[in-house]
A = this chain, B = another copy of it.
Amino acid sequence: MVNAAPYMNANAQLEQIFEAFKQRTITRVFYVACGGSSALMYPSKYFLDRESSTITAEIYSSNEFIHRNPQSLSEQSLVILCSHKGKTPETTAAAKFAKSKGALVVSLMYVETAPLADESDFIVNYSWISAGNMEPHPEIMNYAVLYKLAMGLLYVKEGNNKYEKLLSSLDNLGSVFEKVMQQNTGLVDAYAQKYKDEKIIYTMASGANYGMAYSFAICILMEMQRIHSHAIHAGEFFHGPFEILDKDVPFILLMGLDETRPLEERALTFLKQYGEKLIIVDAKNFDLTGIDEEVQGYLAPLVNNFFLRMFALALSKARNHPLETRRYMFKVPY
């Protein structure tokens, strides 16, 4: 399933948003969404944390955001929301709440009209395809749009030049994905066969990659495969969770290229010493030709995630448990 329309719109929509950035003071970004849509936002927060001394970023699950009611939410806030079909009720309510506080409200969605759009100042339509397929427009996939917003914000406000490097790098992301697919089909199938009967699989990462670990744990493993899981932060691992590690406990470790890589490397050493069921997804193993060195740390999670989506599809096939299977979501009231 490919949505062609956004290709025409996303960049034009972003241009309008950048104009709006110019018109107001922005000191605080709130990333607000639920589940997988929230996990998408972790890399963008990592970017803002690292690059700006004047604009800070927070991530909240939509309902937590509304009920917590952060006092720092104001006219100087940018609230970025995301809901795949724009129908997540909590996220729509969060957009409305943010507008009532005078914030600039920008929402991402895959569809062109939706309740969430009605409560937003601006929307961006991203491109999306199902797991295990090639991304025809990686430059406007959800993660890319989120980076364009964050890097575009600092480009407009602080002259940060990562935005330009992002744009040229995104043009080459498709060919990076293509090589990952060509070179790893056998590997993900082998992993799927090896781990298809596991009852629990932990994921782990740090820095820009943590959101990918979270997303894979809660959306793919728990939601789509009904496998017990938990995304462990690679730094926190040594302060409790590592006691659970044993030769029969599977771990997926994501290794990125950002500044927190030493945390993931430390976890790797320990995993190798005391564990045996390991899937190591290391961005260093992928050919990143065309990705500007200065943004490789930021874009590595997208490449690791592409690998994870291949693995998700392979796992679902090996288990005869399609990724679309649900027992509660959209099926019962909640």
- Could you list which residues of chain A lie within 8 angstroms of chain B, going by C-beta atoms? 28, 34-38, 46, 49-54, 56, 58, 61-64, 67-72, 74, 88, 90, 200, 206-207, 217-219, 222-224, 226-230, 233, 235-236, 238-245, 259-260, 262-263, 266, 270, 274, 326-329, 334
B222 A64 Cβ-Cβ under 8 A = no
Additional A-B contacts beyond A36-B239, A222-B244, A245-B328 (12; CB < 8 A): A38-B236, A49-B70, A56-B56, A58-B58, A63-B260, A67-B260, A88-B239, A223-B240, A223-B243, A228-B230, A242-B329, A242-B334
Task: Flag if B262 contacts A35 (CB, 8 Å).
Answer: no
A207 with B46: in contact, given A218-B239, A226-B243, A328-B274 (CB under 8 Å)?
no
With beta carbons under 8 angstroms apart, the residue of B28, B64, B259 that contacts A68 is: B259
* Contact partner, A329, options B46, B63, B243, Cβ 8 Å: B243
Contact partners of A266 in chain B: CB under 8 A: 334
B residues in contact with A262, CB < 8 Å: 63, 67
As for how many copies of this chain the complex holds, the number is 2
> Which chain B residues border A245 with CB–CB below 8 Å?
328
Cβ contacts under 8 Å, A34 to chain B: 235-236, 238-239
- How far apart sit A24 and B281, CA to CA, in the bound complex (Å)? 45
Tell me, in angstroms, the Cα distance from A38 to B238 when the chains sit together.
Answer: 13
Chain B contacts for A327, CB-based, 8 A? 243
The residues of B that contact A226 with a CB separation of less than 8 Å are: 243-244
Which residues on B sit within 8 Å (CB–CB) of A69? 50, 259
CA distance A106 to B177 in the complex (A): 46
Q: Which of B52, B56, B243 contacts A326 (CB 8 A)?
A: B243
**Complex-state Cα separation, A260 to B28, whole angstroms:** 22
Q: How far is the CA of A238 from the CA of B230 in the complex (A)?
A: 15
**How far, in whole Å, are A238 and B90 apart by their CA atoms in the complex?**
11
Closest to A70 in B: B49
Minimum distance in angstroms from A165 CB to a CB of chain B: 18
- Interface pair B53/A239, CB less than 8 Å apart: no
Chain B residues, CB < 8 A from A72: 49, 52-54, 56
Contact between A35 and B218, CB atoms less than 8 A apart: no
In the assembled complex, which residues on chain B have CB atoms less than 8 Å from the CB atom of A334? 238, 242, 266, 270
Q: How far is the CA of A326 from the CA of B240 in the complex (A)?
A: 10
Can you give 29 contacting A-B residue pairs, CB < 8 Å? A34-B238, A35-B240, A46-B68, A49-B70, A50-B69, A51-B71, A53-B71, A56-B58, A58-B58, A61-B239, A63-B206, A63-B235, A63-B262, A67-B262, A68-B260, A69-B259, A90-B235, A200-B200, A218-B241, A219-B240, A222-B240, A222-B241, A223-B243, A226-B244, A227-B244, A228-B244, A238-B334, A245-B328, A270-B328
Which A-B residue pairs are the 7 nearest by beta carbons?
Answer: A35-B239, A230-B230, A218-B240, A223-B240, A61-B235, A34-B239, A63-B235
Q: Are B240's CB and A64's CB within 8 A? A: no
List chain B residues, Cβ under 8 A from A51: 71
**Nearest CB in chain B: distance from A183 CB, A:** 29
Chain B min CB distance to A36 (Å): 7
A54 CA to B71 CA in the complex, in Å? 8
Contacts A35-B239, A50-B71 given; does A61 touch B233 at CB 8 Å: yes
